[in-house]
Structure 1
Amino acid sequence: MQSNPSMASNVEEVLLQGLSDHYKHVVESYLKFTHHKTELHLREVSKVIQEVKDSRLLDNQYSLLEVKNIIDALETVLKSTIKSETQYSNHTSLELLRQVFKEADEAGFKLKVDISSIENEETLQEIAKMENNMFPKSVGGNKLPSLKTNSEDILKLKKENDSMREQLTTLQKSYKEMMQEKTEITNQYNAVSDELKKLKNKLQGAHDPNDEKELEELRNKVAHLNSIIKSQNEELEKTQLKATQNEQKVLQLEHEKEAIKKDLVTAQNELTLKVNQTSQFQNMMTIVKNKNEELKELRDKLKLLDPNFQMKE
């Protein structure tokens, strides 16, 4: 749809009223600059979304968790991209103001600037109309002006930097989660060790060498698994420093950690079972059972002698 030339001229006259031809040209040039930057930023966002499609949407079906992870990853990248581009626009606007104020100071002028008026809706709408008139939407889809080589290099470096930052964030998050799980596993191990010490202190009598040997082997196995967890944490710390490494390493470490966690739970269950099966524990349970039976017999005899007799709890 073509814009009306007379309408475009009227809008420009209202906005640029009171400015010399030189400053009118500056305003138009800056508007062109911001327009092309906006188009470039939109292209950058489209590229980010396309990269997610190409790298993450490879299967026909996804679970709810997988979809959530993909959306979260896309959100992180988009936030970073939009924040960076917005900051860039803010900084260029500030640089333009700095140049204007510097020229005014050198000329001995004191400019009056009303910050509160820059969000005037009516004026902003007129500026939007002026931009639309200067850059009408094309039916055939006109191409944007080609970028210079240095601009392409900067965008490429920025893209690589954003990608590296995303990978680092993912690795840091995985490392934090693994550290939390490692703490939980360590606490479980310490709890089992404390329980074993308490049982040893309670159990008295002769020790079966075979039972003690099995217990020692299980304790060594638990200690060995804890050592493996420690080495995995050290490997994660090294991985954190290599921000360019892909997520495959983290997934592999997580799978290994889950396997170790399962082995540790199995070892703890075996340890508890072996403790319950030791001769000391069985002897202790037999003694308690016999004492309970003797106590019951004495209580019955006392009731026969004195029906009103009651045992103190």
Structure 2
Amino acid sequence: MADFGFNEHHQSEIINYMRFARSKRLLRLKTIDSCFEELKDSRLVEDTFTVDEVREMLDGLQMVVRGEVEMELINTAHTNVLLLRQIFSQAEKFYLRLQSDISELENRELLEQVAEFEKTDFKIANKINQETSKPKLAPLNEGGVSELLKKEITKLQEENDKLKSRLRTLESQAMSALDEKTKAERALKDLQRTQGEQKEINSLEDTVAALKEDYERSLSANAASQKDLKETLITAKHDLLRVQEQLALAEKELEKKFQQTAAYRNMKEILTKKNEQIKEIRKRLQKYEPDD
């Protein structure tokens, strides 16, 4: 028996399909033969024919035969599609993805092997199986390949679970990054508010300096007004100290908020430079202030 690399069950399925294909082929050939017989019986009733009559008869016969052959080829193609549909449907139940090599359909060696099988082995198998019923397509058994498929499906499911877990991790990391961004934006707003408070301090210092100047001018003019100016100066200093205390508290809160952010060090350096500038300005002011 010709060896197609199949087991006995699949070999039997091939024989059943070849039997079906041969019956369809013989039926179509009989139809073509009847076309020729009909032409002989209906047209070939005279002894002589002109060239035009012969051409007309051949053209008509050509159209009929062409239609029969074309119909058979189309039907064969559609039948093959239905056969592939049955095979693919069974494969998909076990999560298989079958592939076909179209170039092998024109392999002369394999075609000759199929032809030899039809001439010899197919006839023997046809005699053995002519009384048996045609079995329906059945799923694969529970052993062998089926067990391997189950293991492969389990492996794919495990990989799918790992991918889902990794996706959840990435989502968590993305949410953390979003939270960090929100914290950084809030810290930036706090910094901007602190800078506004620093401007307010500078303005108060300017006010204090102006009051001190007024105080010094009024010392020799009026003792009573000197007392009022001194109290005003003390009040301004208290306001300055209170604002400085609020600024210190705000800086501490800001430092706590920024201690986990990348912008903390840069902002701290800026504030340090600002404080150094304030100290430098104060030192310069002290040069022009009289001793109490």
**TM-score range for the pair, normalised by the shorter chain length:** 0.3 to 0.5
TM-score by length of 2: 0.41
Q: Which has the higher contact order (CA 8 A, sep 6+)?
A: 1
TM-score by length of 1: 0.38
Larger Rg: 2
